[in-house]
Amino acid sequence: MKAHVTLIALIPWLATHLLAASIAKPNIVYILSDDLGYGDLGCYGANKVRTPNIDRLASQGCRFTDAHATGSVCTPTRYALLTGRYAWRQPGTGIAAGDTPALIKTGTTTLPSMLKAAGYKTGLVGKWHLGLGEAPHTDYNGEIKPGPLELGFDDAFFIPATGDRVPCVFVENHRVVGYDPADPIHVSYGKKIGTDPTGADPGVKLKIQGGPGHQDTVVNGIPRIGFMTGGKAARWVDEEIADTLTAQAIKFIEANQAGPFFLYLATHDIHEPMVPAQRFRGTSGCGWRGDVIHQLDWCVGEVLATLERLKLSDNTLVIFTSDNGGAIKDTYDDGTNALHSLQAPNGLLRGGKGSLYEGGHREPFLVRWPGHIKPGTTSGALIGHVDALATFAALTGQSLDPADAPDSYNVLPALLGETDAPPPRDHLVLQNNGQTPLALRQGDWILIEKGGRARSTNEKLSPPAPRCELYNLAVDPAQKSDLSTREPGRVEALAARLQDIRTKGHSRP
């Protein structure tokens, strides 16, 4: 009888799955913002900044309240998003430098390669931050590969690492945009090279001041992480980055409007250095941090307007989210720092970027697909960015080899608002930057390792397991009450589950 009831419960999910497989393949626009917190949008409670274009995705689609980046910093999240594999499974996938070799091995099944096999034109615009070229270090003089094109993208216009790291140049497909062979580019993350001024030099003229770790080569009046020389004609102007990337995103949509297409738009905003275009300055009342949120909202609005102009909105699935939690930082001083915290990045959530608390990885997540996703809805389903690969495979009728996307779950029923479907996930593993510590979310509970990794007591390992924290998010979403000492049995069970996931090397059923 129990099996009979279970089968009946699965029928709505099966119907949704079959429906998705039978419809025309939609265009997909996946917008991954940078360092935007759970509380930084109007539709998630922001009461200072204004985000009407992004909020429109919520009113016209579904707003998720329990969606997570699997890393609380950039590179691990992006690795998991594109591979369907937790980044902590591969050493060396922490925050990448600007000269890090390619982190994803050529031949790996990735989100773009899977969609390309399904007949999609695939495009990357924006931040890459997953390494480029071959060991020992990226060479920016000549063809730069392997890179996005070797991993399934047809076209790529991107920032190699981050806005605060050298080299400060755009790359299109395999070459630096505006490269001058008479002025070769050299990059160092060890010692100073070249004669360019640094942020630590006396009397150097700066647009904004750089704090510790951000006082190396000055580009466009802003000190960076790392040293570079050469490439003068190719160096970007920070105030123009949002306009440049938005134009490239529109160009890709226009060129591929016959569809189907997949656009991965990974914005620079709102990552530091936060340098808004002049027209956005002072518009938020929250300093330049709030102003670049307005700039981000404008970018999204331009992309949505393009879809509408080309009459593509009804056949385009749009997802908007962020790569990790927000943060109020003093890494740079733009003269408006005192105003930044007027907009609380993560609402009532504890922690922020770089933290295993909810503020580090719980993200805004908005999904719009007219005619398929009911407008103005909210979902509390537990999902992770790592789920994109398996979900889009199901959407486009693609099969995954068991070795592909080992940690990616098909959450399509949740995206489509199928409330009668089984929960897409019962657990999710979260990380900061490296392989430890980790956190395990299971149901309403989250176990957070402190300083190392949790172990069940039957493991024959030493030294003793580090202390863990335990929270019940259903009653304590702000994580004020650590229940680890009151619930030792639950700590033990969750630690054992986490160790099992580590040992197996996969978590996808």
Q: Which of 15, 74, 84 is nearest to 383 (CA)?
A: 84
User: pLDDT of 92-145, one tens digit each?
Assistant: 999 999 999 999 999 999 999 999 999 999 999 999 999 999 999 999 999 999
Q: Supply 276's token pair.
A: 């808004």
User: pLDDT of 327-352, one tens digit each?
Assistant: 999 899 999 999 999 999 999 999 99
User: Cα–Cα distance between 318 and 249 in angstroms, integer?
Assistant: 13
* Residue 129 known to be catalytic: yes
**DSSP string covering 375-389:** TTEEE---EEGGGHH
Give the pLDDT of residue 452: 54
User: Cα–Cα distance between 223 and 165 in angstroms, integer?
Assistant: 9
Q: Give me the count of residues in the chain.
A: 509
* Maximum pairwise Cα distance, the chain: 80
Query: Could you tell me if residue 35 is inside a domain?
Result: yes
Q: Are residues 391 and 440 part of one domain?
A: no
* Domain count for the chain: 2
Main-chain phi, psi angles of 162, to 5 degrees: -130, 165
65 burial type by CB count under 10 A (0-12 exposed, 13-18 middle, 19+ buried): middle
Q: C-alpha 128: how far from its chain's center?
A: 10
Mean local confidence (pLDDT), 70-91? 98
Strand locations in 404-485 (E): 427-431, 438-442, 445-449, 468-472
Q: Which letter, b or e, does each residue of 397-423 get, where b requires 16 or more Cβ atoms within 10 Å of its Cβ?
A: ebebeeebbbbbbbbbbbbbbbeebee
Give the pLDDT of residue 272: 97
**How large a percentage of the chain has pLDDT more than 70?**
92
Given a cut of 90, is residue 288 above it in pLDDT? Answer: yes
Give the pLDDT of residue 421: 84
Give the pLDDT of residue 24: 61
User: Cα–Cα distance between 45 and 113 in angstroms, integer?
Assistant: 37
Q: Kindly report the CATH number assigned to the domain that includes residue 449.
A: 3.30.1120.10
User: pLDDT of 464-494, one tens digit each?
Assistant: 455 899 999 999 999 999 999 999 999 999 9
Query: Could you tell me if residue 201 is inside a domain?
Result: no
Q: Are residues 147 and 34 part of one domain?
A: yes
User: pLDDT of 239-274, one tens digit each?
Assistant: 999 999 999 999 999 999 999 999 999 999 999 999
Q: Are residues 440 and 403 part of one domain?
A: no
Q: Which of 17, 62, 74, 361 is catalytic?
A: 74
Strand locations in 137-214 (E): 155-159, 171-172, 175-176, 186-188, 209-210
User: Cα–Cα distance between 268 and 127 in angstroms, integer?
Assistant: 6
Give the pLDDT of residue 467: 84
Given a cut of 70, is residue 455 above it in pLDDT? Answer: no
Q: Are residues 156 and 124 part of one domain?
A: yes
User: Cα–Cα distance between 221 and 319 in angstroms, integer?
Assistant: 34
Mean local confidence (pLDDT), 25-32? 98
Q: Phi-psi region for residue 131, left (φ > 0), alpha (ψ -120 to 50) or beta?
A: left
Q: Are residues 275 and 139 part of one domain?
A: yes
Asked if residue 130 lies in contact with residue 79, where contact means CB atoms within 8 angstroms, the answer is yes
Domain span at residue 448? 436-504
Element spanning 133, H or E: none
Contact partners, residue 497, CB within 8 Å, separation at least 6: 427, 440, 442
* pLDDT band, residue 19 (cuts 50/70/90): very low
Rounded to whole angstroms, what are the CA distances from 297 to 55, 303, 325, 366?
A: 9, 10, 17, 13
Of the residues 415, 444, 476, the one at which a domain ends: 415
Q: Are residues 353 and 486 part of one domain?
A: no
Query: Could you tell me if residue 206 is inside a domain?
Result: no
User: pLDDT of 193-222, one tens digit each?
Assistant: 999 999 999 999 999 999 999 999 999 999
Query: Could you tell me if residue 231 is inside a domain?
Result: no
The Cα angle at residue 433 between residues 428 and 438, in degrees rounded to 5: 40
Q: Are residues 482 and 341 part of one domain?
A: no
Element spanning 14, H or E: helix 2-22
The whole-model pTM stands at 0.94
Q: Kindly report the CATH number assigned to the domain that includes residue 58.
A: 3.40.720.10
Rounded to whole angstroms, what are the CA distances from 68 to 149, 322, 395?
A: 27, 9, 20
Main-chain phi, psi angles of 132, to 5 degrees: -145, 145
Q: Are residues 157 and 255 part of one domain?
A: yes
* Residue 74 known to be catalytic: yes
User: Cα–Cα distance between 142 and 99 in angstroms, integer?
Assistant: 14
Q: Supply 33's token pair.
A: 């913002």
Q: Which of 129, 294, 385, 427 is catalytic?
A: 129
Give the pLDDT of residue 485: 96
Give the pLDDT of residue 328: 95
Give the pLDDT of residue 82: 98
Given a cut of 90, is residue 509 above it in pLDDT? Answer: no
Mean local confidence (pLDDT), 351-359? 98
Give the pLDDT of residue 420: 84
User: Cα–Cα distance between 342 and 354 in angstroms, integer?
Assistant: 21
Given a cut of 50, is residue 5 above it in pLDDT? Answer: no
Indicate the range of 52-66, 367-381, 442-456 predicted with least confidence.
442-456
Of the residues 415, 450, 473, the one at which a domain ends: 415
Q: Are residues 264 and 320 part of one domain?
A: yes
Asked if residue 354 lies in contact with residue 433, where contact means CB atoms within 8 angstroms, the answer is yes
Q: Which of 2, 21, 30, 8 is nearest to 410 (CA)?
A: 21
- The partner residues of 209 in beta bridges, in order of sequence, read 333
Given a cut of 70, is residue 23 above it in pLDDT? Answer: no
The Cα angle at residue 83 between residues 80 and 84, in degrees rounded to 5: 65
User: pLDDT of 307-321, one tens digit each?
Assistant: 999 999 999 999 999
Query: Could you tell me if residue 207 is inside a domain?
Result: no
Q: Are residues 407 and 457 part of one domain?
A: no
Q: Which of 360, 408, 413, 401 is nearest to 386 (CA)?
A: 408
Average pLDDT, the chain: 93
Q: Are residues 452 and 405 part of one domain?
A: no
